[in-house]
Amino acid sequence: MSIPGLGQAAPTAAFLAPIPVAPTVVHDLQANSEWRFEVDIGEKIDVKILSGTAEIFGTELAVNHLYTFRGAKSSIYTWHGCRIEVTGVCEEYTAEETPMTQYVNTHFALEKLRDEAERDRREGPRVLVVGPTNSGKTSLVKLLAAYALRMGQQPMVINTDSREGLLSIPGSLTATPFASIIDVEQGWGSSPTSTSTPVPVKLPLCYYYGLGNPEDNTKLYKPIITRLALAATSRLTDDPAIKSTGMIIDTPGVISQGKGGFDLISHIVSEFSVNTILVIGSERLHSEMLRRFSTYRTSTGETITLVKLDKSGGCVDRDDTFMQLTNEATVKEYFFGDTRTTLSPHTQSLGYDEVTVYKIREAHTNSFLPGGVEETDHGLYEKVEPNASMQHCILAVMYASVSDSQDTIRDASVMGFVYVAEVDETKRRLKVLAPMNTRMTDRPMIWGSWPEVAVSLMG
């Protein structure tokens, strides 16, 4: 055994493997062209605009500012040409044929309606965007919201797609007034329920559905949409700037792809008093919308304007694996922050008798009930005792009392989310991870099947 410092031979120099350097490429984009890129989950690229003007989904990029994109599928568009520097590895190509002219013309048409609404002191356009899955609906909503912001407007953005969260984790439906720039690196930006950012946080109205498909339980989905519409309309009425700007409503693609979903579209149109429907990427869907809504009148007696828009060639299919990894990353960011900001969540040990947990009933669980018994006869939720199958699941903590009715709990907004890290059936205790050390035993918790978390967050 050698003892340090007692005459042993000097150590030989160790040759370390060189740290790989990410490649850097400069692209010169011509006017009216789009650079499209895909970054794998777990990877990143750095992008800098060296000269010219460019934007991401309507949000202008600053010259000589470094933007970092992780696990993203996105695009940079330039109206007048630009020079960009890209560091890192991604799949990429440049396209010169895009539907951007259609999209910006739609924006200017909405601006005209907003000017008229402000002049007449009434509500601005309530815009519904529909289309098949992966047709670019969310990208269009983001682009129209960003252009409205650049014009000094304050749009209310509504997310009715529980598969993807907007300023919240998946499984929730939100209504968010936008008064500041959209953070292009974080998608929509951040809220107090996610993490901090140099861009001002947004304050979403958040409600919990807890299932991945609206058709999984329409008896739950519809009332939550009604409650979301009521809250959004009330917020609209209280703020003149938001009132004249109006709403932009994103929808899940699944409801645009079958006859069963058209009933849900009609429900959203009715509850939000939609007066403009943008149909993207489907001639058949546009024809169906014309048939259903050409003679429709809103609650204020307005007719509905239908506009068919082309699907962007940059739209890519996001398979189940990509969506699962994206959702897991969103959940992790909610509790732990991101690379720019580290959060310190708290763990709490709770006894079975201290918590009140309701599990969402799946629609199919009551499909064989005898004697014409309806699903609503059994309630929307089933009160359950914590058990081992709850481990690694997300629970929504509601702004309600444990003594409230199920309807009251359903209509309540979300206080926050907790992650069940451990369930000890012997000691009848569970360990939960929460964003902050807040008492939650006096609040009902909702257990849904979405989002699915396949890995432990504590590992």
pLDDT the model gives residue 319: 79
**Average pLDDT of the chain, as a whole number:** 87
Distance from C-alpha of 383 to C-alpha of 123, rounded to nearest angstrom? 41
Q: What is the pLDDT of residue 195?
A: 43
> Confidence class of residue 397 from pLDDT cuts 50, 70 and 90?
very high
Residue 332, marked binder:
no
What CA–CA distance (Å, rounded) separates 454 from 17? 34
Structure-model confidence comparison of residues 201 and 289, the more confident one: 289
- So what's the pLDDT on residue 275? 95
- Per-residue pLDDT of 36-86, as tens digits, reads 999 988 899 999 999 999 999 999 999 999 999 998 899 999 999 999 999
pLDDT tens by residue, 249-285: 999 999 998 777 899 999 999 999 999 999 999 999 9
Provide the pLDDT for residue 159. Answer: 97
Asked if residue 138 belongs to a known ligand binding site, the reply is yes
**308 annotated ligand binder:** no
- Per-residue pLDDT, averaged over 389-402, amounts to 94
Res 78: pLDDT: 97
Q: What is the pLDDT of residues 307-318, one digit of tens each?
A: 999 999 888 788
Q: How confident is the model at residue 7 (pLDDT cuts 50, 70, 90)?
A: very low
Tell me whether residue 135 is annotated as binding.
Answer: yes
> What is the percentage of the chain residues whose pLDDT exceeds 90?
67
Judge whether residue 338 has pLDDT over 60.
yes
Q: Residue 153: pLDDT band by 50, 70, 90 thresholds?
A: very high
Question: What pLDDT was estimated at residue 16?
Answer: 53
Maximal C-alpha separation, the chain? 96
Contact assessment for residue 166 and residue 141, using Cβ atoms and an 8 Å cutoff: no
449 is in an annotated binding site: no
Rounded mean pLDDT of 183-200? Answer: 63
Q: What band does 328 get if pLDDT is binned at 50, 70 and 90?
A: confident
SS (H, E, C) the chain: CCCCCCCCCCCCCCCCCCCCCCCEEEEEECCCEEEEEECCCCCEEEEEEEEECCEECCEECCECCEEEEECCEEEEEECCCEEEEEECCCEEEEECCCCHHHHHHHHHHHHHHHHHHHHHCCCCCEEEEECCCCCCHHHHHHHHHHHHHHCCCCCEEEECCCCCCCCCCCCEEEEEECCCCCCHHHCCCCCCCCCCCCCCCCCCEEEECCCCCHHHCHHHHHHHHHHHHHHHHHHHHHCHHHHHHCEEEECCHHHHCCHHHHHHHHHHHHHCCCCEEEEECCHHHHHHHHHHHCCCECCCCCECEEEEECCCCCCCCCCHHHHHHHHHHHHHHHHHECCCCECCCEEEEEEHHHCEEEEECCHHHHCCCHHHCCHHHHCCEEEECCCHHHCCCEEEEECCCCCCCHHHHHHCCEEEEEEEEEEECCCCEEEEEECCCCCCCCCEEEECCCCCCCCCCCC
Checking if the pLDDT of 364 tops 70, the result is: no
- Tokens representing 26? 């400069």
As a whole number, mean pLDDT of residues 400-414 equals 96
pLDDT value at residue 21 = 65
pLDDT of residue 5: 39
Per-residue pLDDT for 186 more than 70? yes
Per-residue model confidence as pLDDT tens digits over 411-428 = 999 999 999 999 999 999
Instruction: Enumerate domains of the chain plus CATH numbers.
Output: 24-95 (2.60.120.1030), 100-309 (3.40.50.300), 344-447 (2.40.30.330)
The pLDDT > 70 percentage for the chain reads 88
Is 137 assigned a ligand-binding role in the annotation?
yes
pLDDT for the residue numbered 265: 96
Does position 247 have pLDDT exceeding 80, yes or no? Answer: yes
